[in-house]
Amino acid sequence: MAPAFTLPDADGNEVSLSAHKGRKVIVYFYPAALTPGCTKQACDFTDNLDLLAGAGFDVIGISPDQPEKLAKFREKESLKVTLLADPEKKVTEAYGAYGEKKNYGKTYLGVIRSTIVVDEEGKVERALYNVRATGHVAKIIKDLGI
């Protein structure tokens, strides 16, 4: 089963995974709002939101940012995906999307860019870790047969 969560969105409203029961949910974890890779990924999800929604998928992006930063991100990039704040990284950790990363030969702890597909019953259908920001949404659409 996918770990249950309730987190604030960009407007401070609580959003729960359980509210999406009966629909498939793509939950994606990204390191930081307003950065180039995360912007590309969020824009790709927004550009494909109608296609995904038509196939029965809701999309939720989760990062350690505060709701205020998520609101700026949404406004600046005209994002339509639901963005949730996980500053304590509890949900990110529960999904295995926080851990050791390597960048330029240095090892550190951080958010691992990940995408989890949750089915209508709340079970993890597939989990993808260390995904690339560019081209990832197209790959998911192809892999899901949409």
Q: What are the pLDDT digits (tens) for 16-45?
A: 999 999 999 999 999 999 999 999 999 999
C-alpha–C-alpha distance, residues 113 and 107, integer Å: 16
**Considering only CA atoms, which of 11, 13, 17 is closest in space to residue 91?**
17
pLDDT at site 74: 98
State the amino acid at position 134 in one-letter form: T
- Which pair of tokens denotes residue 29? 């974890």
| pLDDT band per the 50, 70, 90 thresholds, residue 8 | very high
C-alpha–C-alpha distance, residues 141 and 127, integer Å: 14
Domains detected in the chain: 6-144 (3.40.30.10)
pLDDT at site 104: 85
Percent of the chain topping pLDDT 90: 92
**Considering only CA atoms, which of 37, 91, 42 is closest in space to residue 64?**
91
pLDDT at site 141: 95
pLDDT at site 117: 97
Q: What is the DSSP string of 69-82?
A: HHHHHHHHHT--SE
The reply to whether 38 belongs to the active site is yes
Mean pLDDT of 117-142: 94
Residue with tokens 């029961």: 21
C-alpha–C-alpha distance, residues 64 and 60, integer Å: 14
Percent of the chain topping pLDDT 70: 100
| pLDDT band per the 50, 70, 90 thresholds, residue 12 | very high
Helices 136-143 & 36-47 angle (0-180, nearest 10): 40
pLDDT at site 53: 96
pLDDT at site 54: 96
The one catalytic residue among 7, 15, 27, 38: 38
